[in-house]
Amino acid sequence: MSARLPHVLVAVPPAVAGLWTGPMAKTGGFVIVVHGQDTYAPQDIDYVFGFYPPIGLLKTLPNLKAAFSLGAGVDGFLRDPDYPGHVPLVRFVDRSLAREMAQYVVLQVLLHHREQRKWDAAQREGKWRQALPARFTEDTRIGILGMGELGAMAAERLRDLDFKVAGWSRTRKRADGIESFAGDGELEAFLARSDIVSCLLPLTPATHRILSARTFAMLPKGAYVINSARGGHLNADDLIAALDSGQLSGASLDVFETEPLPESSPLWRHPKIRVTPHVAAISYPAVAARIVAEGIARAERGEALDNVVDVARGY
Ligand code: NDP
Ligand code: OXD
């Protein structure tokens, strides 16, 4: 009699499930079941894979051994008040993701720093408006909110371009040429020295709406804000007010409280906002399949899993 294979419930919309189940099927070693598409007995499910699994789903799976997030952020799992706290939650950690995010942050910083909107407008008018930069690179202070897997690499890449870089995190960090601010007590000082601030925090009760009128007022006048963490970090009304008053000079937004961003949202058309559709750093399906396969193999051998989230802390 052959041994029973572990069962993985893939809790992503069936329309896009194939993107993830294709590479997972290639790794083999487990049975794949798609929520909302395949029928299954809840007691047969050993593992879950998803991003924003339906609230209440996990508590219906009595034999769940671990949950795998297809993203680095796990707010989609932990928004569920019934998340079974004893089930280890593994998040997506891979150099490819940090690299893609660092590229996005560097791109947005440079578009702003190099005044690309101004040159685009001049080209549209056919005008040669040569001028010195508004601020030299060495004098431009970048602040990274969140110095984890993604923030640390973005900070290093910007430092290597000769910007003055600082990071803010819960605990103090040490990295060559990057100033470290830690904890709520140092947030104001960190923001006060940030001409461009980029949010790479996890969304938790402590970081919800951290980008709001209160913190915009702590930034130097004319600062620029980048949010590619979660829409819940930003108070969008406060952002528009700060842009319209001139307290902020612009913003790049990749993530939104409601996704897809509704067509009626004023964020789409604001002249000082750049919008991208949650594409700053995409998890590669083949990497996700490897993380799941390796995680299941470890769990089945009774070994501890890597990159397990602290459920109580929220990240
Ligand atoms: P990590 O968990 O590796 O890092 C989180 C960082 O935030 C840590 O430095 C942590 O501090 C800091 N932090 C957390 N809470 C606080 C707090 N209350 N005060 C100060 N600092 C705090 O996360 P990642 O870097 O892997 O990912 C960050 C986020 O990026 C994800 O949660 C996700 O929301 C978003 N993301 C967005 C993507 C996109 O395409 N737009 C793609 C991937 C991720 P400490 O180190 O001291 O613990
Ligand atoms: C993530 C994301 O959390 O893509 O990885 O947003």
pLDDT, the chain, mean:
98
pLDDT tens for 175-198 read 999 999 999 999 999 999 999 999
Q: Using a cut of 0.75, tell me whether the model's pTM lies above it.
A: yes
pLDDT tens for 251-277 read 999 999 999 999 999 999 999 999 999
230 is catalytic: yes
Q: Residues 91-102: what's their mean pLDDT? A: 98
pLDDT score for 28: 87
- List 170, 214, 278, 290, catalytic entry: 278
| Ligand 1 atom, smallest distance to 201 CA | 7
Place of tokens 């984890």: 148
85/67 Cα distance (integer angstroms): 11
pLDDT score for 7: 98
Q: Which domains does the chain have, with CATH numbers?
A: 7-94+283-300 (3.40.50.720), 98-275 (3.40.50.720)
277/106 Cα distance (integer angstroms): 17
User: How far is ligand 2, taken at its centre, from the CA of residue 79, in Å?
Assistant: 15
Q: Are 274 and 111 in contact (CB under 8 A)?
A: yes
User: How far is ligand 1, taken at its centre, from the CA of residue 182, in Å?
Assistant: 14
Best CA proximity match to 282, nearest among 117, 100, 76:
100
* Sheet containing 7-11, strands listed edge to edge, beginning at the edge strand earlier in sequence: 31-34, 7-11, 47-50, 66-69, 89-90
Q: Residues 223-249: what's their mean pLDDT? A: 99
User: How far is ligand 1, taken at its centre, from the CA of residue 263, in Å?
Assistant: 28
Report which residue type is found at 228.
S
